[in-house]
Chains A and B, each alone.
Chain A
Amino acid sequence: MDNLNSLIGGFGDILSPLNLLYALIGVTVGTAVGVLPGIGPAMTVALLLPITYGLDPIQGMILFAGIFYGGMYGGSTTSILLNTPGESSSVVTAIEGNKMAKAGRAAQALATSAIGSFIAGTIGTLGIVFLMPQVVKFAISLGAPEYFAIMLLTFTGVTAVLGASRIRGLAALALGLTIGVVGIDSVTGQQRLTGGIPQLADGIDVVVVAVGIFAVGEGLWVAAHLRRKAGEVIPVGRPWMGKSDWKRSWKPWLRGTALGFPFGALPAGGAEIPTLLSYTAEKKLTKHPEEFGRGAIEGVAGPEAANNASAAGTLVPLLALGLPTNATAAIMLAALQGWGLEPGPLLLTKEPALVWGLIASLFVGNTMLLLLNLPLAPAWAKLLQIPRPYLYAGILFFASMGAYAVNSQPFDLWLLLALGLLGFAMRRFGLPVLPLIVGVILGPLAERKGRQSLQLTGGDINGLLGGPVAWVCYALIVIALGWPLVSGLLRRRRGDSNGGGGDDGDGPDGHLIDPMAQMGRGGNAPGGGF
């Protein structure tokens, strides 16, 4: 009950007409930007984060919470109406959502996704209220070696488990870690990788990295391959649902929430797995299996709820441990640091008012979103028809504005361009973006914790082993990295016993598995080394 009282206190701190206005602005701007094709929730929050810098922390948080939910909902609108998932987490929503829209049920698809998001967001945020203090209690007992191990587990999770190719994931992670090293070493004051450029001494700001890789990289990539004919937008009226739609939606909402929140709360969870699980579950449980693949409302309601609940879940490790597990949370960490807050177990005891204020802001933003979006959906849909030259010029415009606003130095704009070209190359070569962002953010933190751990043992490597929590993390890392190796061996053995015929069939498959399996071995060095 203590938690609820604190939460009510949080509401008391934030509920004022001016703050509600900030929430409204945040939701509006967040949805407007998030709905633009090619802009996912992470890019939305990265682009718009700088507009919160001039405000005090409470108002900044309220504005940001609105942007966060607006960006999430905007992303699903685009997936449904245009079949362009801005982020991997809304891929599943697009499957049935776009089919529904094509079948003339866009209004119902948008409604079930809006209401489902609201319910999942509300339950998920309540989940934070109850779970986060528990995690904090547990986290206070963790020492530097345990943190170090958890961070390595997060690195492994975002590179080896989620991506399609481990070598490409690890390359992206290494690039991110390299960017994270740039600047003055916090312990000894030595310059590293600055090349003597004074503006690099403070390191490269995460917002500049995120905006460069996401927004400028995307803009350049699309510019190089611009489809001269814009995609067809499905016209939509005001979202509404009939009685049978409600009946078919409420269970998937709750099941999706139940799947999404725990996955989001894990140090290496993410939204991809729960949204896919939710889709599979709804497909199995539905009374209308014939509609799946042709626009089943359950296939929108479930994954969309799972996506939002997982987003709420990621705030637990973010606030309690200071660990971001997806790109949006990574930007949020940068936001919190921008307001002078250091997420981690001490945050809740040091700044309880701000933490509960943030959680209350999430409730406010979520509610505001529902009130705003049901009537305004047709207007948002019109944004999808912006001529592409203006759309991508606008993205570059806002990217430059945001990057400049971080430090007020033109140098950051050149940096932004360089990072944009890197983002372009990553898209060209299929390198995943998330490991890079997580590497930039967690790399310096992991280094600090690793050095602290070794300080206790005077440099002896055993200092990294720590206690049982660290052991569990290392065991999970070994399993995650070693599994493809084992399964590759098993497959090869099976292929051998099948004889010549089996070899032919396995040939291309084995080709793909082989380098990956080797990475399992080679990957231990970079994965376990720092």
Chain B
Amino acid sequence: MTHPTTAASAEVSGGAKDRAQYGLCAALGLLGAYVLFDASRIGAAASSNDPIGPKAVPVLLGIALIVLAAFYAVDVFRGGQGEAEEGEDVDLGTSSDWRTIGLLIVAFGINAVLIEPLGWVISGALLFWGASFALGNRHHVRGLAIGVTLSLVTFYAFAVGLGVNLPAGILQGIL
């Protein structure tokens, strides 16, 4: 997905056209082109059993995505705007906070990398602590303590109690 840097400023100012939407149109069009390209590599596997074959749907879908991207662009050109989602904790008056997003993605990635070698209890606690730090929590000890508690409780309740697959990692045998 293309990420606009103008962010929420456009919809706040109201009258100005939200040009970042063209980026979304372009992304839809590119996705359509990729779907068509991918479909072109599918071998002709149609048989009497399946006269349509696996190719028809991706081809139609690719065309549909490109056509939709074009109509979407026309809609934006005519002043069409999507309404950004609101919520009690959402303040659309500020522009997007990319630093927070970046830090969250890092916390997320660390969990994805560490979950198997170190186990859920450690990686999950780090995820919680890192995410709450990214979101503005400055009580590091408290954040880490809550993270450890949560990951221990979920591990025992869900993995041990309900049989959910969560890795124990290096704590195998200790937990």
Contact = CB atoms under 8 A, between A and B. Distances in A.
A526 B67 contact: yes
B112 interface: yes
Contact of A392 (B54, B81, B83, B135): B135
B82 A431 contact: yes
6 contacts: A51-B164, A53-B164, A171-B72, A394-B150, A404-B165, A410-B115
Contacts of B50: 187-188, 451, 455
A410 B113 contact: yes
A417 B89 contact: no
Given A170-B68, A178-B35, A413-B111, 11 more contacts: A82-B88, A168-B82, A187-B49, A188-B50, A388-B136, A390-B143, A392-B135, A393-B143, A417-B112, A429-B21, A529-B63
A361 interface: no
Contacts of B58: 181, 192-193
Interface residues of B, number: 94
B88 A174 contact: no
B78 A515 contact: yes
B42 A178 contact: no
Given A225-B92, A458-B51, A526-B68, A401 B158 contact: yes
A222 interface: yes
Contacts of A178: 31, 35, 61, 65
Contacts of B170: none
Interface pairs A-B: 9 shortest CB-CB: A430-B82, A54-B163, A459-B51, A393-B131, A526-B64, A413-B112, A389-B135, A393-B132, A389-B137
A37 B88 CA distance: 8
A192 B38 contact: yes
Contacts of A195: 38
Interface in A131-189: 164-165, 167-168, 170-171, 174-175, 177-178, 181, 185, 187-188
Contacts of A187: 49-50, 54
B128 to A, nearest CB: 5
Contact of B112 (A165, A405, A414): A414
A226 B64 CA distance: 36
B175 interface: no
For the complex, would chain A's binding face be called helix, strand, loop or mixed by DSSP majority? Answer: helix
A220 B92 contact: no
Interface residues of A, number: 89
Given A181-B61, A224-B100, A514-B78, A37 B89 contact: yes
B168 interface: no
Contacts of A224: 7-8, 96-98, 100-101
B87 A38 contact: yes
A425 B131 contact: no
Contact of B64 (A174, A514, A515, A518): A174
Among B61, B84, B88, B97: residue with most chain A CB under 10 A: B88
A227 B86 CA distance: 11
Nearest to A56: B163
A389 B124 contact: no
Given A188-B50, A414-B112, A458-B48, A396 B162 contact: no
A459 B53 CA distance: 10
A405 B166 contact: yes
A322 B79 CA distance: 39
A428 interface: yes
A121 interface: no
Interface string B39-80: 100110100111111101110110111011101101100111
Contacts of B167: 408
Given A519-B71, A530-B64, A55 B124 contact: no
B109 A417 contact: yes
B141 interface: no
Contacts of B147: 393, 397
A68 B120 CA distance: 26
B115 to A, nearest CB: 6
B158 A190 contact: no
B6 to A, nearest CB: 10
B134 interface: yes
B71 A515 contact: yes
B113 to A, nearest CB: 7
Interface string A425-453: 10111110000000000000001001100
A221 B1 CA distance: 15
B122 interface: no
A223 B101 contact: yes
A316 B2 CA distance: 40
A225 B20 CA distance: 17
Given A226-B89, A522-B67, A165 B82 contact: yes
A192 B42 contact: yes
B90 interface: yes
A425 B58 CA distance: 23
B171 interface: no
A50 B164 contact: yes
A225 B105 contact: no
A417 B124 CA distance: 15
A227 B89 contact: yes
